[in-house]
Structure 1
Amino acid sequence: MKLVNKFSYIFIAIILSSCNNKAEIVVENDNRKVVDTIQTEKSHESIAGIYKTQTDPDNTGECEISLEITKAKEGYLYFLQTKLRKLKGKATFTSNESGEKYLVLEGIKWDEYEGDISNEENDSITDSKPKAELEIPVGIGASYLKDTITIQNYGNSMNSYTKISECGRKYIQLIKS
């Protein structure tokens, strides 16, 4: 393949990657085609911004939360503000093999955590660690989809916890403004 054609493919890939978050480079060598996909940082940059809860007519409790995600040199930072507190720290943004995106707000201690409460009658026999000594988790995980961050705020009868007690919603949806 001519050197000019190789540079043309690379130039096209750069242009496409600036428009999309992916670009494919096709290089022909010895009658074989090799396709390489280039991922750019732009797919992660889209998470930066200000997210807020919206009013919910079905929920009588107030739930005003704002979350600002900013891009830093080594990743992302967050600033979370509720009616009762203002917290800031590192935000970790990842995605799994299926493309689902996740955000963890590091350093935020959950408000309540009772752990697995499905076998409370047997706890005194099988559980060597009393409930009072359970370590409260730190770090709030959330899913990210199309400019919406969703936090599962509390658990169920099998796994009792509350992450942000000043909001009574089971799922806190923060929408980019």
Structure 2
Amino acid sequence: MRISLALACITLILSSCGNSKPEEHTTAVPSSDKSANQQATVVPKTTSADLSGTYEEVDDPDAEGCDIVVTISKAAGGYHYHLAYDSLSYEGQLGLDKRNDHTTGIVFKGIPYAETSIDDDDDGTNARTSSDVGGELEGDTITIQNYGNSMNYYVKLGGCGLKYIRLVKRH
């Protein structure tokens, strides 16, 4: 009995010696008034670079129907795009959606999906028709998931068989 009590006391003492406060990662930030450095939590940089330029599909130059070129220009009201591929051409406003996880969604407004599954509303219209093609912007690369699966069927840019279309900015 005394041994059990002694082991319980030792276990309690040892477990209370641990540091219960999580470790915080900090970095020194130079002070503008030349006083002592202050501590700041490291936060990933977000860029507000100009998106203007020409973006081209680069993954598979032999992929039939995937010779996609997008030109993005900055105007007073925001960004506009011109997307061309496989003898098709679209123009419109470009939407940007900065997300909490530090990624940026990009939306080419006014491009209808090439194919969607048929889910008719009560009024007989197709509930899955979309006129905005979305993707993700990371650095100088725009990635578009071009088609879904059997449970969520869609094709955004018809004629291009790539699942993920990567458009890289030409420099």
Alignment TM-score, normalising by the size of structure 2: 0.66
Alignment of 1:12-51 (within 5 A): 43-51=47-55
**Which of the pair is proportionally richer in strand?**
1
**1:39 match:** none
- Give the one of 91, 96, 102 matched to 1:93: 96
1:164 to 1:73, Cα distance in 2 relative to 1, 3 A = same
Query: What is the deviation of 1:74?
Result: 1.4
Alignment of 1:4-153 (within 5 A): 43-56=47-60, 60-114=63-117, 129=122, 133-153=126-146
Query: What is the deviation of 1:92?
Result: 0.9
Letter aligned with residue 52 of structure 1: E
The answer (yes or no) to whether the contact 2:65–2:85 under 8 Å persists in 1 is no
Alignment TM-score, normalising by the size of structure 1: 0.64
Consecutive unaligned residues in structure 1, runs of 5 or more: 1-23, 36-41, 117-126
The answer (yes or no) to whether the contact 1:115–1:160 under 8 Å persists in 2 is no
The answer (yes or no) to whether the contact 1:66–1:81 under 8 Å persists in 2 is yes
The answer (yes or no) to whether the contact 2:56–2:69 under 8 Å persists in 1 is yes
The yes-or-no answer on 1:176 pairing with 2:169 is: yes
The answer (yes or no) to whether the contact 2:57–2:167 under 8 Å persists in 1 is yes
> Matched residues, percent identical?
33
Consecutive unaligned residues in structure 2, runs of 5 or more: 1-28, 41-45
Give the count of matched residue pairs. 134
Q: CA RMSD in A?
A: 3.1
**Which of the pair is proportionally richer in helix?**
1
Which aligned runs of 4 or more in structure 1 are off by greater than 6 angstroms?
A: 24-28
Larger-Rg structure: 2
